[in-house]
A and B are shown apart, each in its own frame.
Chain A
């Protein structure tokens, strides 16, 4: 019985691990030039869907996400660099459109706090360990 449950859990984990994320890129959006398409896909994966907010535009079926995917592809075809495309989008929608926020003064806490908490956690674990060894 335990073995059966164990196998089911492992199977679910494996399915989750090897399954592909669903992408919403429609066939008519895909560029013929594979290199350009790959670049557009990579950029789209880093751009937040402003409607869904927790999805990238690559995964979102929202109309604005589709418009932005097409816009990115147009810019890639026009020979724009990745930096220029990101700048175009952040100029209009702010840094919030980036799924990875850049390190700035107002995002400093966001980047540093996890490390501070990690250090505090390690400190607590070590001091607790010392105490328990004494006992």
Chain B
């Protein structure tokens, strides 16, 4: 009886140990949290547009084509780093890029886009960070891919790197099919 119990306890211990070991060796960033909005409709919002005279109304913009939504600010260093990839995305066919200007100074943002190039078809302004909260954003830059039905299919936290750029491109092709 005692021997059996010892075996069961050892198996339990090994199971727990192997779970911890598995979590250690798999490639993951424990600080990157999965989005709760995946496979859900984009949050509806209305915001002032940085570049246009009319308001940005989400219900009019989403649901027709694949859209990449990028939360950025001029005070955010990594946003500058990923800007080159955002520009590349804007050249992709069948993909629209929207930038949400997060808690920023509008004139700085306009100047920033003039200096580094504007990849965004529209830039809603999130002055108090409420739009970001609705999207579950917790650290900019963050990038979302929304399919042509207005459903969020992917979220990336942090700057887009070459590796992430390729990953997102593949995903967009998958969504298109």
Interface size for chain B: under 10, 10 to 19, 20 to 34, or 35 or more residues? 10 to 19
B34 in contact (CB, < 8 A): yes
Interface size for chain A: under 10, 10 to 19, 20 to 34, or 35 or more residues? 10 to 19
| Complex contact B37–A92 (CB within 8 A) | yes
Which residues of A lie under 8 Å from residue B128 when comparing CB positions? 67
A85 in contact (CB, < 8 A): no
C-beta contact mask, A59-79 vs B, less than 8 Å → 1, else 0? 000011001100100000000
Q: Which of B31, B135, B136 has the most CB of A within 10 A?
A: B136
Distance in angstroms from A134 CB to nearest chain B CB is: 14
* B interface SS class: loop
C-beta contact mask, A86-120 vs B, less than 8 Å → 1, else 0? 00001111101000000000000000000000001
A13 in contact (CB, < 8 A): no
A42 in contact (CB, < 8 A): no
Partner among A53, A68, A71, A94 whose Cβ is within 8 Å of the Cβ of B31: A53
| Complex contact A50–B138 (CB within 8 A) | yes
| Complex contact A92–B103 (CB within 8 A) | no
C-beta contact mask, B17-40 vs A, less than 8 Å → 1, else 0? 000000000000001011111000
A120 CA / B10 CA spacing, docked (Å): 12
A127 CA / B2 CA spacing, docked (Å): 10
A96 CA / B9 CA spacing, docked (Å): 31
Which residues of B lie under 8 Å from residue A96 when comparing CB positions? 33
Which residues of B lie under 8 Å from residue A8 when comparing CB positions? none
B158 in contact (CB, < 8 A): no
B117 in contact (CB, < 8 A): no
| Complex contact A94–B36 (CB within 8 A) | yes
Name which residue of chain B comes closest to A93, CB basis. Answer: B136
| Complex contact B138–A93 (CB within 8 A) | yes
| Complex contact A92–B135 (CB within 8 A) | yes
**Interchain Cβ contacts under 8 Å between A and B, 16 examples:** A50-B138, A50-B139, A51-B138, A51-B139, A53-B31, A63-B129, A64-B139, A67-B129, A67-B133, A71-B133, A90-B36, A93-B36, A93-B136, A94-B34, A94-B136, A120-B9
Footprint of A on B, CB under 8 Å? 2, 9, 31, 33-37, 103, 128-130, 133-136, 138-139
